[in-house]
Structure 1
Amino acid sequence: MNRDGSGPTIAKWEQLNLAPELLRSLTKFGVGPPNKIQQRALPFLLRGADIIAQAPPTQERIAAYVIPAIHVALVHSTGRPPVSGPIVVMVSTTVDQATQAQRMIRDLGGPIGVRSALGVGAATNDTSAEVRLLTQSMPHILCGTPQKLHALFTAPGGLSGAHVRFLVLDEVDQLIARNLHDFIFNIVKLLPPPRQRPISGGTGSSPAVPGSGPPSSQLSASLDALGAYSQGGRRFSSSPIPPEMPTSNGAIERQTALFSNTVPQDVLNLATAIQLREPVRVLVRRDGSGATPDSGGAARGLRQFYLYLAFTANSSGRSNSNAAEQGLGIIGSGRSAGGGVESAQAREWKLDALCDLLDDVEAAHAIVHVGGLAALDAVVYKLASRGLEAVPLHGDMNPGAKMAAMQRFRNGVGVAGSVLRAPATRVLVVYDVQVKPPEVAHVPLVVNYDLPKAVEEYAHRVTAAVSNGNARPGVVVNFVTATGGDVEMLRSIECFYKIKCPEVPISLRDIV
C-alpha cells in the first residue's frame, strides 16, 4: 500500500499486464521503475478505461501514454492483416511535445516492430502526397499537432480513422487556450464511437487510484462524466491491479485519454463533448519546485491586484450556441452548461476600463496579455484610438516580425525607422508569446486583460514585472469579469502560488 493507504503501489513494470515484447524493450532501454503518474494512469489505460489525468508536463507524463499506446499497437497488429489507418492517434498542442512522444515511441517500439510517424507543421497543398507516403508504410501510431493531423485526416483521400482504438490528447488546457479544439472535434467525427460497455474487473469494482475520492454511482448518459467531476465524485476501491479489458467481438470502440497541466471547467466540457465514458480522474501534484511569480514574497518584487468588472453576460438572455441547449458547457468559456458569454457592450466596457487604467499611470512601458487574436486586434485598435502606441505581438508572427515588434516596444522605432516621440505609455499587446528578460528590461506594469487558461502560464506572464532588486516593484493587474470562469481562475492562481491579490486601489499612480 501507499503511505496514505490509498491503494496498491506499482513498483515494477512486470506488475502491469504489458505485452512481453514491450516489457523486454523497457528493460533493454533502461527505463526506470514507474513514477507517480505512470503508477496511477497505466492500470486504467491498460483496462481500456477513459481517463482525465492532471500532472506536470514532464517526460514521465509522456511515457504514461506512450507505453500503453505501444501496448495497444502490439496487441492489435501482431498476426493481423495490415489496416488502412493508424491504430493510435496522439495529439499534442506543441511541435516539441509531439516530437518527444514520437521519439519515445521510435526508441521503445521501433525495435519490436511498432511503426510511428510525426505530423507537424502547417497544412500545405501537398497534403495528398504526404498521405500517400504514409499509406505506403502505414504507421501503427500517428503523433502530431491538431492542425496537421486534421489536414491528414480530412484531405481528399485522407487517412482513415476507422481503425483508431486509442486517442490521446495532451496539453488539453493549452489546446483549448489556443482555440484548437475545433480541429479535435472534426478528427473525432472520423474515429470509431466511444466505448459503450462498462469496464469489467475481476471483482466487479474499479482499482484504487491514489488521491481518489469516494465511489461514484454508475452512470450511463454522455454527460455523466462532467456531472461526476463537478460534484467531486471519483471511483475508488481496493482491487488488485486489473487485467486488460477484453477485446470486443463487434465493432471497434475508441478509448480516450486526456492529459493536462490543469483541469479547469473547459477541459471537462471538452471531455463531455467528445463523449468520454465514465472517465477516471487521475491527479499528480507537482513537487512544489516550480517557479512562482514572486518567490521572495509579494512585497519585495511584485505587487499583484485584481480589477473586478461587474457587468453581466449576454443581456438578451439568448445563447448563440446550441451547446447550452444540449447540456454542454461552451468550450473556451470556462463555464459549465448554462454559463453566459460576454455581450458586445460588455466587451466595450472592458476595453474602456483598460484605457482608463493606462491613463491613470505614469509608466514608459506596459504589457497587456490577451486571450486570443480577436481580443488582440480589439485592444490594439482601442488603444490607438485613445492616442496610445500599441504594439501587437502574437505567436503566429514569423521570427523577423516578432523581433521587429520587440524592437519597436523597447525603443519606439516606427516602421520607417524614425524614432517616435514617446507617448505617455507604450503598450505591448501579447497573445501566445512569452515575454521575459533579457528580451525586455523591467516593465513596471503588466495587465492580464484576459486571465490565462492554465495557472502555470501566469508565472511566465508576470516575469517581466518582477523587480530586479534595484527597480521599484512591478505591478500586475488581473482583469476579472463576472463571466468566463475568471473568479475561479484567480482563486486557482492564488492557491497555486500562495499569493493574495487585493482589489486594485482607486489610483495606481502612486504605486506604478
Structure 2
Amino acid sequence: MPFSSLGLIPPLLQAVSDLSYATPTAIQSAAIPAILSGADLLGLAQTGSGKTAAFALPLLQRLQGKMGARPRVVQALVLVPTRELAVQVGDALKRYAQHLPQQPRIATVFGGVSINPQMMALRGGTDIVVATPGRLLDLIDHNALSIGRAAMLVLDEADRLLDLGFADEINRILSLLPPQRQNLFFSATFPAAVETLANGILSQPVRLEVEGTPEVAPDIAQSAIMVDTAKRTPLLRHLLQEHDWKRVLVFVATKYAAELVADKLRRNGIQAEPFHGELSQGKRTQVLMDLKASRLQVMVATDVAARGIDIAGLPAVINYDLPRSVTDYTHRIGRTGRAGQSGTAISFYSADTEAHLRLIENRLKLKLVREQIPGFEPAPVPQSEAAAALAEAQANGGIKGKRKSKKDKLREAAAQQAKS
C-alpha cells in the first residue's frame, strides 16, 4: 500500500518522497485515514514503529486552511515526556510541512533551558506547539501563549508521561483546552493509569494495536552476559573491540554511574560521554549530535535516553545496569533495530541480579540467550545465596510498578491525614 492511497494531499506526499519513505508502516496505514476522518484515536505502538509520521502528517493536513491568520493561535498541541522527543517531533513536523502552501508556525518548548528565548519566539503567536508539560504551563502562566482554541491534542508516549510524574500537569492542561477537539493518544504500554487517562480524554476512539505484529517487530538479537559487577567495564571494552561497533548506547542506573563509566572508557582511549538529566540542554544536544555523527563511539546514559531518541543505524544497546521495569527494558532496547534495520541488545547481570533478569523475562514472555565470555566468567556463588535472592525478588515484585513508589506512599499519607 503506497502513501498515496491514504488520502494525503500532494505537498505531504512530496515531503514523504523527499524523505525516501517507501511504504507506510502498519501504524501509519491504519492511523492516517482515521485521523483524517476526524476521529479520536488510541494507538498502542512500540517505539520505532513510525507513529510520529502517523499523527504528524494528518495533523498538518487537517490544519490547512486554519493557519496563517493573524494573530496566530494554537491549533494543535503535542505533549511529550522529554526534551529530546520534543525536538525530534518538532523537527519532523517542519520536514513534513516544507511543501505546504500554508506554512505552519511550529514552536518546540521544553524545560532545562531559559524560558525567555522561548517567550520571545512565541511573540506573534504560533499554530502548533510541541511541549513538555511543565514548560508549557510555565509559558501559559507567563501569558506567552493560550491553548483555549486548540482543535487537536496529541499525547505521545503517554505511559512515559505518567512514569515521569506528569499526571497533575496533564490534568491542568486538559482543563485549559476546549472541550470540543480531536484527541490522539499514543502509548507503547497500557497499564491501569494510562487506561484511566485515555478513558477520560478520548471519545469513541479508533483503537489501533500494532505492537508485536510481524510487520513492525524489530529485528533485535537479545542476549544476557553473566559477569561480576567489578568486571563489567573491562567486559564492555572487550565487546567494543570484538564487535567494532562504531556507535553504542550504554544504559546505567544513575547519573553517577554514567559519569564514572564514561570516564573509565575515556581513560582507556574510547570516545565516550555521559548523558543524563542533570546535564545542560546544550551539552545533551551536543552529545547526541556527536553520537549521530560518529564523532562519539559510546554514550553512557540513564533512562532519560530510553525514549524519544532516534539514532539512525545504531548497532547496539548495552544494559550495563539492568532496568528497573519491564517497560524501561522495552524502550531501552528499542533504540536499536529501528526502521527495518537489525540490532543487538546485551544485558549484563550477576548472581545478585539474576532473579531480577528472570522476572523481566517472565513478564515479557521471552528467554534471553545466556552467555559467559572467556576471561570474564563470574566467581561461583553458593546455591543457597542464589535461592535466597530469587525468593526475595519474588516476594516484593522485583520490578518497579509492582510495589508502591515513594511518591505513592506520600500521596496516601497525605490523603489519610486529610481524612482524619
Classify the TM-score, shorter chain. Answer: 0.5 to 0.7
- Does structure 1 conserve the Cα–Cα contact (< 8 Å) formed by 2:34 and 2:41? yes
Change (3 A) 1:458 1:119: closer
Residue number among 273, 289, 292 corresponding to 2:219 in the alignment: 289
Query: Which residue in 2 is equivalent to 1:139?
Result: 126
Structure 2 CA distance, aligned partners of 1:188 and 1:32? Answer: 37
In 2: Cα distance, 1:12 partner to 1:179 partner:
39
For residue 119 of structure 1, report the CA deviation from its aligned partner.
Answer: 1.0
1:256 alignment partner in structure 2: 183
Which of residues 76, 82, 85 in structure 2 aligns to 1:94?
A: 82
Change beyond 3 A, Cα 1:141–1:291:
farther
- Structure 1 contact 69–141 (Cα < 8 Å) conserved: no
Which residue is 1:110 aligned to?
98
1:66 counterpart (44, 56, 80): 56
Q: Give the match for residue 55 of structure 1.
A: 45
Give the conservation status (yes or no) of the 8 Å contact 2:223–2:347: no
**Closer, same or farther: CA 457–24 of 1 in aligned 2, 3 Å:** closer
**Distance in 2 (alpha carbons) for counterparts of 1:363 and 1:107:** 45
Which of 147, 150, 155 is the aligned partner of 1:161?
147
Residue 169 and residue 479 in structure 1: after superposition, are their counterparts in 2 closer, same or farther (change >3 A)? same
CA distance in 2: counterparts of 1:124 and 1:442, whole angstroms: 33
Q: Are 1:84 and 1:160, in contact at CA under 8 Å, matched by a contact in 2?
A: no
The corresponding residue for 2:380 is none
On the 8 A contact 1:84/1:159 being kept in 2, the answer is no
1:470-485 aligned within 5 A? 475-478=353-356
The structure-2 alpha-carbon separation of the partners of 1:190 and 1:28, relative to structure 1 and needing over 3 Å to count, comes to same
The within-5 A match list for 1:46-445 is 46-58=36-48, 60-77=50-67, 81-112=69-100, 113-122=103-112, 124=114, 126=116, 130-136=118-124, 138-153=125-140, 155-193=141-179, 253-273=180-200, 275-284=201-210, 285=212, 286-294=216-224, 301-302=225-226, 394=254, 402-403=258-259, 432=303
Is contact 1:152-1:158 (8 Å) kept?
yes
1:95 maps to a residue whose letter is R
Quote the offset at 1:44 in angstroms: 1.2
**Cα gap change, 1:506/1:177 in structure 2, threshold over 3 Å: closer, same or farther?**
farther
Aligned-partner Cα distance in 2 for 1:25–1:178: 34
- SS of the equivalent of 1:507 reads helix
Give me the whole-angstrom Cα distance separating, in 1, the residues matched to 2:83 and 2:388: 44
The one of 351, 355, 363 equivalent to 1:492 is 363
Identity percentage of aligned residues? 22
Aligned partners of 2:261 and 2:49: how far apart in 1? Answer: 34
Specify every segment of 5 or more residues in structure 2 that has no aligned partner in the other structure, as ranges: 233-251, 265-300, 307-317, 335-344, 370-382, 391-420
Does the CA-based 8 Å contact 1:163-1:191 persist in structure 2? yes
Q: Which amino acid aligns with 1:264?
A: P
Distance 1:156 1:25 in 2: 36
Q: Deviations over 1:151-196 (max 9, x none)?
A: 223x231311122111112122222222223322222211111xxx
The 1:145/1:511 distance shift into structure 2, 3 A limit, reads: closer
What is the CA–CA distance in structure 1 between the aligned matches of 2:98 and 2:305, rounded to whole Å? 35
2:258 and 2:302 in contact (8 A); partners too:
no
1:100 Cα deviation from its structure 2 partner: 2.0
1:23-62 matches, cutoff 5 A: 23-27=13-17, 30-58=20-48, 60-62=50-52
Q: Which has the higher helix share?
A: 2
Question: Separation in 2 of the partners of 1:13 and 1:291?
Answer: 30
Question: Are the aligned partners of 2:133 and 2:170 in contact in 1 as well (CA < 8 Å)?
Answer: yes
Q: Distance in 1 between matches of 2:10 and 2:353?
A: 57
Relative distance call for 1:152 and 1:111 in structure 2 (3 A) is farther
Q: Secondary structure at the match of 2:122?
A: helix
CA distance in 1 between partners of 2:191 and 2:70 (Å):
40
Once residues 357 and 347 of structure 2 are traced to their aligned partners in structure 1, the CA distance between those partners, rounded to angstroms, is 18
Distance, in Å, in 2 between the alignment partners of 1:152 and 1:476 is 46
Give the residue type in structure 1 aligned to 2:151. R
Deviation at 1:407, TM superposition (A): 7.0
Larger radius of gyration: 1
Aligned letter for 1:456?
T
SS state at 2:74 partner: coil
Tell me how large the CA RMSD over aligned residues is: 4.5
**What is the aligned counterpart of 2:12 among 22, 46, 58?**
22
Gaps of 5+ in 1: 1-10, 194-252, 295-300, 304-361, 367-391, 409-429, 436-440, 467-471, 481-486
Asked if the contact 1:451–1:478 (Cα under 8 Å) also holds between the matched residues in 2, the reply is: no
Partners of 1:458 and 1:24 lie apart in 2 by 33
Partner residue in 2 for 1:213:
none
Is the Cα contact below 8 Å between 1:452 and 1:458 reproduced in 2? no
AA aligned to 2:259 is M
Going from structure 1 to structure 2, the CA distance change for 1:71 and 1:492 (only over 3 Å counts) comes to farther
Any conservation in 1 of the 2:40–2:206 contact (CA below 8 Å)?
yes
The question of whether the paired residues in 2 share the 8 Å contact of 1:262 and 1:455 is answered with no
Any idea what SS the aligned residue of 1:189 has? helix
Deviation at 1:39?
A: 0.3
Deviations 1:206-261 (A, max 9, x none): xxxxxxxxxxxxxxxxxxxxxxxxxxxxxxxxxxxxxxxxxxxxxxx211112222
Deviation at residue 132 of structure 1 after TM alignment: 4.5
- 1:451 corresponds to 2:325: yes
